[in-house]
Chains A and B, each alone.
Chain A
Amino acid sequence: MGGYILKRLVSAVPVLLGITVIVFAIMSLIPGDPATAILGSYATPENVEKLNRDLGLDKPLVQQYFIWIGNMLQGDFGRSFALNRPVLDEVLDRFSATLVLAGAAFILCAVLGIIAGVISAARQYGWADRAITVAVILGISIPSFFLGMMMILFFAVRLKWLPVSGMYAIYGGGDLPDLLRHLAMPAIALSLVATGVVARLSRAAMLEVLRQDFIRTARAKGVGEGRVIWGHALRAAMVSIIPVLGIQAGFVLSGAVYIEIVFQWPGVGRMLVDAILKRDLLLVQGGVVFVAACYVFFNIVVDVAQSLLDPRIRT
């Protein structure tokens, strides 16, 4: 097991290196420069040129890349031009917020999606199945940002049940109930599409599994239907659900961008959008490398989870 994990970790290194090259290349291709962004309205060509020199942006690209990588390996992600703050501090701050949001949405989509999918499969063609099918179709068709807007309008502005935006109350709060109240709407809006996808794939996986011989064996043993569905069948279905969860985790992480904008969540997605638009090179590069590393790491976690679940993979 340990060896397997190590192997997976080692194989992630070239992927991560490749990602740094892609980020760097794309950011270099984007026209416009950070000096303009820093100088704001006062960006005269002269000032811009001087500032670029100060920032080391007049060096050849390859050299810039290696300086960046070299510094990063020593834990120095550089300083954000636009925020005037070390990239690592900003990214860690933001990333933890995104992890909370995406994590909550992911848990929601995994739990609700699987439950809905299992019920839907177990009650195939029944009213529950139909209701879930319709809900799932609606869920995967609604743009998350539109849903978010409507939720704010309804639950926060009209009913005043939940706070409009942010992650913590600005005064008081800071505790778990406060976080949960702020988290409710964005997490639901973010999880909806993924929940739909997980539900429909769980349903398909369960239908597939329920036809297997070992389910008949379990029933022949006299195992209760609840245990047959939620134990025997779901466990086997997880083998095909887990990779889907892995993919959805990526989607949730990506989709967080819109939700973070709509709900003013202090996350890394919104930060990166701003940073890309402001040509905040180091922040974009640092942030994306972080997100990508997280994604790669999560893939490894999925693989490990898969192998823990399915003894046939381990050997």
Chain B
Amino acid sequence: MSTFIKLLARNRLAIFGAAVLGVIILLIVVTPLLPLPDPDATATADRFKRPFSDGFILGTDHLGRDLLSRLLWGTQLSLAVGLAAALIAGTVGAAIGIVAGYFGGRIDNVIMRAIDMLMAFPYILLALAIVAALGPGLLNALYAVAAVNIPFFARNVRGVTVSIAHKEFVDAARLSGMGHIRILTTEILPNVLPVVIIAMSTTIGWMILETAGLSFLGLGSQPPQADLGSMLGEARAALITAPHTSIVPGMMILLIVMSVNLLGDGVRDALDPRLRSGALSRPMAATLVRRDETPPEEAETEAVLSLENLQTRFEVGSRIYRAVGGVSLAINPGECVGLIGESGSGKSVTALSVMGLVASPPGIITGGAVRLNGQDLIGAPYRRLRALRGDRVAYIFQDPLSTLHPLYRVGDQLTEAIRVHHRISRDAAHERAVKLLEDVRIPNARARIRSYPHELSGGMRQRVAIAMALANEPEVIIADEPTTALDVTVQAQILKLLDDLRRDRGVSILFITHDFGVVGQLCDRVAVMYAGRIVEEGTTAEVLDAPAHPYTKRLIACVPELGAGRRELHAIPGLPPAVDQLPHGCAFAPRCHKATGLCATSEIELTGTGRKVRCILPEEDVA
């Protein structure tokens, strides 16, 4: 509840809405106490007085009635009616929806068909017909508006109920012999209620509009009673002579509906768990860069790609997650470097930072450099970054089902990758795409090129992704756990493919993984990441055979090895630290069996050349 209030309070528009609505409600609450003239007292000689004239704050209407008084009383009525209509529609609609969703089968079918029919009816005409049948009057208009909105609620609630009705706790309740009524009221209803409340809060404004509409057509409140719609309807005849009589109620409707909508949106946003995490913000085209120090734009280096003290963080509200806390890594031409670590270690963020693909907000690169052939990419203009992406540096991502566009044919996605960097004809690009698919050993490439991603197997999809990465013959391929989502035999095929391609084409690979087994098959060198930093680096053979960092050692110990017979698998006790609360000194110390007091006192450097380790008590000497 308090989070709800807090979230609501953070939404400035909702606060504005609440404030306006609050003022309006306050006004109509004190209306009976205000020294206002009788809203229905006519004084035809005083008709159409302009606002602020002769003691009429808002002027008078066509019968000389005080507009302010009518406005306040009318607002009271309109708000009450809107609220009542929402309540009635919500209650009845929810009841129907719950029954349909819970019982399912024929009951559901019949009810939903009826709802379909009602929804195929133009709602205003339905409301009109209902009012015509019941006779005019505000109460009847209220029923009509409520009635035409029932299908909307019923449909929404039914959807939610269906998803709840098949959950375990409902089954459990059923098995325990609870009656339908009991289950509906004690198990289903509490879970459906938030949906109903959200729907109601977002539709009250709508209800007020609709009721005003019926009153506008003369089917709502009966004279002399004022409600906003009838005020507007009556004022219409004098629109040109005395526009204020229309504008006053019109603006009030606008204000009420607007404030109700704003507040309703705020309530919905605050109640919606997806929005609660604050995650519903879209990533920008390139990661934001906010470096305190700008490193030189160019530097002499042998490496095709080198990371220098790269720092990337996520800023969520007041919290700062240091996902990458100063990573330096170099990849030489034709080399395959593995970057390994548990999930959350920052290895993927490191990989994405290279081409500015870290989602931002909330990601920000706050320091260091990424050099491609010596040129710094961090802080490079978007145009340059874009020109290099996929052309010089290509990516292969983890789950090809979600990383390929589901609505484009794979061929189109491939040719697009080529054509954004090369001005070649569609046909030529197509031929090239076929060739690429053949290169990644997709059988029957010419037919498969017309497939959609969902029509391919996981392995095939990943081959497509690899073909896409190869499309422009890049210097570097960054493969972010490309085999994790695949089963073991396919995994082996993909690794073999990558290895062959690397050797045939001399492309460098930065290979992100959490699996030492995979590293061993492919990588020349390997760097181990923990809590946003590299803790050990060396050739694959060295690191695998003689891990220096206690963390690496434990990590390797976790890998079951084929043909190694029975060996005890040790899980590492504890969890990696949250990167918004990194411990002082060695981040691994709290989980390390060798840790001493010294480990937590000061920053620990990555020491060594070529073979490096960040530990004051390494398992192996790396000097």
Interface residues of A (CB under 8 A from B): 14-15, 18-19, 22, 26-27, 29-31, 121-122, 124-125, 133, 137-138, 140-143, 145-146, 149-150, 152-153, 157, 204, 206-208, 210-225, 227-228, 232, 235-236, 239, 250-251, 253-255, 257-258, 261, 269, 272-273, 276-277, 284, 288, 291-292, 295-296, 299, 309-312, 315
Q: Give the CA-CA distance A217 to B400 in the complex, in Å.
A: 10
Q: Give the distance in Å from the alpha carbon of A189 to the alpha carbon of B216 in the complex.
A: 16
Contact A221–B261 (Cβ < 8 Å): no
22 contacts between A and B (CB under 8 A): A121-B282, A138-B258, A141-B257, A150-B250, A152-B239, A157-B240, A206-B282, A207-B281, A211-B280, A213-B403, A216-B359, A216-B397, A217-B403, A221-B390, A222-B390, A227-B420, A235-B407, A261-B217, A269-B122, A296-B120, A309-B407, A312-B454
Distance of A17 Cα from B226 Cα, bound (Å): 41
Q: Indicate whether A18 sits within 8 Å of B114 (C-beta atoms), given known contacts A29-B133, A258-B216.
A: yes
A210 and B282 alpha carbons, distance in the complex (Å): 6
* A292–B121 CB distance below 8 A: yes
- Alpha-carbon distance A273/B124, docked complex (angstroms): 9
Give the A-binding residues of B (Cβ under 8 A). 13, 113-114, 116-126, 128-130, 132-133, 135, 205, 209, 212-213, 216-217, 232, 236, 239-240, 243, 246-247, 250, 253-254, 257-258, 261-262, 279-283, 285, 352, 355, 357, 359, 382, 386-391, 394-395, 397, 399, 402-408, 416-417, 420-421, 452, 454-455, 465, 468
Q: Is the CB of B254 within 8 A of A217?
A: no
Asked if A143 contacts B125 (CB within 8 A), the reply is no
B124 contacts A239, C-beta separation under 8 Å: no
Given the interface pairs A30-B129, A206-B282, A273-B125, the reply to whether A15 lies near B117 with Cβ below 8 Å is: yes
Q: Which of A30, A146, A212, A315 contacts B232 (CB 8 A)?
A: A146
**A315 to B386, alpha carbons, bound, how many Å?**
36
User: Is the CB–CB distance between A276 and B386 below 8 Å?
Assistant: no
With A143-B212, A269-B122 given, is the CB distance from A311 to B117 under 8 Å? no
Classify the secondary structure of B's interface with A: helix
Partner of B468, one of A141, A152, A221: A221
Contact in complex: B254, A219 (CB < 8 Å): no
With contact pairs A27-B129, A143-B212 given, residues A216 and B261 touching in the complex (Cβ less than 8 Å): no
CB–CB B123/A254 < 8 A: yes
Q: In the assembled complex, which residues on chain A have CB atoms less than 8 Å from the CB atom of B250?
A: 143, 146, 149-150
* CB pair A142 B254 closer than 8 Å: yes
User: In angstroms, how far is the closest chain B Cβ from the Cβ of A36?
Assistant: 14
B205 to chain A, nearest CB (A): 7
CA–CA, A254 to B129, complex, Å?
A: 13
Top 6 A-B pairs, shortest CB-CB distance: A210-B282, A222-B390, A141-B258, A222-B389, A221-B390, A141-B257
- Residue of A with least CB distance to B398: A213
Asked if residues B122 and A288 are in contact (CB atoms below 8 Å), the reply is yes
Complex Cα gap A224–B419 (Å): 11
Question: Inside 8 A of A315's CB, which chain B residues have their CB?
Answer: 454-455
B280 contacts A19, C-beta separation under 8 Å: no
Instruction: Assess A145 versus B213: contact at CB under 8 Å? Given A217-B395, A239-B407.
Output: yes
- With A30-B132, A124-B282, A146-B232 known as contacts, the answer to whether A19 contacts B403 (CB < 8 A) is no
Cα A239 to Cα B397 with chains together (Å): 24
B235 CB to closest chain A CB (Å) equals 9
Give chain A residues whose Cβ lies under 8 Å from the Cβ of B13: 133, 137
Q: Is A19 within 8 A of B254, CB to CB? A: no
B-side contacts of A253, CB under 8 Å: 122
Q: Which residues of A contact B129 (CB under 8 A)?
A: 26-27, 30, 276, 284
**Which residue of B121, B124, B133 is within 8 Å of A255 (Cβ)?**
B124
A210's closest neighbor in chain B, by CB?
B282
CB closest residue in chain A, given B256: A141
Give chain A residues whose Cβ lies under 8 Å from the Cβ of B382.
225
Distance of A175 from chain B, by nearest CB (Å): 30
Task: Choose among B117, B386, B391, B397 the residue that contacts A217 (Cβ–Cβ < 8 A).
Answer: B397
Complexed CA–CA distance, A109 and B308 (Å): 50
Distance (whole angstroms) from the CB of A45 to the closest CB of chain B: 20
